[in-house]
Amino acid sequence: MAHWLMKSEPDVFSIDDLKRKKREAWDGVRNYQARNYLRAMAVGDEALFYHSSCAVPAVVGIARISRAAFADPTQFDPASEYHDAGSKPADPRWSAVEVAFVRKFKSPLTLERLKSMPELTGLPLVQRGTRLSVMPVDELQWRAIVEAGS
């Protein structure tokens, strides 16, 4: 079972929103590398839920992939901010997955702390200049983060 990290701006969609709604489509990804990772996800994979663009950027909990990649409907919706006129329904350019709430960390594992963990040096999240919003997390990294957050 693979592990992932997914960024969300808490003002838009937070871990508490996911807890309340139980499940949510993870749509609006418009970066090819991140899209390719969405397509590589399998049902049952777990993902770290990360809050970005906020006062204290941090991993705040865990979600589980509850539906594998499907065509992101927002790309075909002219009213959506994620609309992509260049994407054809016969050959959709962008994918989404559905995630389910698993649990919230006891306390947020802040970016500052993540940067101090030697296990995470290879993780794009803590590398300067990286903006990738969906990324794989290896076993060692996963264990280190979950242990520190639990």
Partner DNA sequence: GCCAACGTTGGC
Residues making contact with DNA (CB under 7 A): 7, 9, 30-33, 52-54, 57, 111-112, 128-133
Q: How far is the CB of 131 from DNA (least distance, A)?
A: 4
Q: Which is nearer to DNA, 71 or 126 (CB)?
A: 126
Distance CA 27, CA 46 (A): 17
Q: Which is nearer to DNA, 107 or 130 (CB)?
A: 130
Q: How far is the CB of 5 from DNA (least distance, A)?
A: 11
Q: How far is the CB of 100 from DNA (least distance, A)?
A: 22
Q: How far is the CB of 32 from DNA (least distance, A)?
A: 5
Q: Which is nearer to DNA, 11 or 118 (CB)?
A: 11
